[in-house]
Amino acid sequence: MTSAAGLAAQFAELILAVLLAPMLTGWVNQCRAWLQNRSGPGVLQPYRMLLKLFRKEVVLAHNASPLFRIAPYVIFACLALSAAIVPTLSTDLPLNAAADAIALVGLLALARMFISLAGMDVGTAFGSLGARREMMVGFLAEPALLMVLFTASLISHSTSLATIVGTLAKNEFVIYPSLAFAGVAFTMVSLAENARIPVDNPATHLELTMIHEAMVLEYSGRHLAMIEWAASLKLFVYSCMGLALFVPFGIAEGGDSAGILLALPVLAAKLAVGGALLALIETLSAKMRIFRAPEFLGIAFLVAVLAMLVRVLLES
């Protein structure tokens, strides 16, 4: 049963995510610049970057396979679809019936698989090096992310994100200790998954230390633009997922069209605060040695399991 309002909300959410995601990246970079006493390039810089890349010609390696060419589009599509699943403005999302939290994790994994394959495709040392590191981070981060989502599912008895958000948003005055643990674990996983400090450094020019950047070194032009855009979308998706799970207030209930209009400024405010906090974490931390990343993600997993135990033992 799909309502016209639901379809509209779904569509609005998708467009919003795709259009606003670069601005969130720009905002985080701007905050970082301010925190480092620099003036910064402004929040619109990622758009200028994308425009520049779309106008540039694509330089392909001679031995690049078709996979190398289609990967940017597949990755972008995966992330765009993920953005459509996470409730940002309204919980009345037709796609939610088709894909739940586990499907979301699967979509993110699919994008990761393609970017890793593309990294290895041309056969340069850096591509494989980055892909290898990305898989290491990914396979440690995914279980922790699933545990976080399971904790939230246990509270709302559903793995559908819309139901989770609906349940959590309604029980305004109940405090869940389990969600506090889950929040910590989710923050750690998000830092690792989005190639942020302390796991990876999105601003580095040192090819030997790169994870995400090493995989995309061979990309140029519109392909690189799609990948950069997808990376912005990923940050947006994770931010919205965090907001949906831990501060779900202000998201419109099903069919409430006035609520959607109100949800937009609320979302913008929440993202602005979240982005500023991310910039703060990044400014205060140094990058870890790469072999600290398993410890870091191991702790994230442990905390996520604790969250679930707290939920099962104390709250039910």
Contact flag: residue 220 with another protein (CB under 8 A) = no
Q: Which of 4, 258, 286, 313 binds another protein (CB under 8 A)?
A: 286
Contact flag: residue 63 with another protein (CB under 8 A) = no
d(CA 305, CA 316): 16
Stretch that binds another protein, among 70-78, 109-117, 232-240, 288-296 (CB under 8 A): 288-296
Residues 178 to 197: which contact another protein by CB under 8 A? 197
In the complex, the smallest distance separating the C-beta of residue 132 from another protein, rounded to whole angstroms, is 8
Stretch that binds another protein, among 57-65, 97-105, 259-267, 279-287 (CB under 8 A): 279-287
Q: Which residues of 165-197 are buried (b: 16+ CB within 10 A; e: fewer)?
A: bbbbbeeeeeebebbebbbbbbbbbbbbbbbbb
Sequence length of the chain is 316
Residues 110 to 149: which contact another protein by CB under 8 A? 125-126, 129
Question: Considering beta carbons, is residue 85 or 293 the nearer one to another protein?
Answer: 293
In the complex, the smallest distance separating the C-beta of residue 208 from another protein, rounded to whole angstroms, is 5
Contact flag: residue 281 with another protein (CB under 8 A) = no
Q: Which of 1, 175, 203, 258 binds another protein (CB under 8 A)?
A: 203
Question: Considering beta carbons, is residue 126 or 236 the nearer one to another protein?
Answer: 126
- x/- string (CB under 8 A) for another protein, residues 238-277? ----------------------------------------
Torsion, Cα of 13, 29, 202, 104 (10° steps): -20
Residues 146 to 165: which contact another protein by CB under 8 A? none
Closest alpha carbon to 185 in 143, 154, 219, 155? 143
Stretch that binds another protein, among 45-53, 80-88, 163-171, 290-298 (CB under 8 A): 290-298
Contact flag: residue 32 with another protein (CB under 8 A) = yes
Q: Which of 48, 55, 56, 292 binds another protein (CB under 8 A)?
A: 292
Instruction: Please calculate the CA angle 311-312-316 and round it to the nearest 5 degrees.
Output: 85
d(CA 279, CA 32): 5
Query: Under the rule (CB under 8 A), what is the footprint of another protein?
Result: 32, 35-38, 125-126, 129, 197-198, 201, 203-210, 213, 217, 283, 285-292
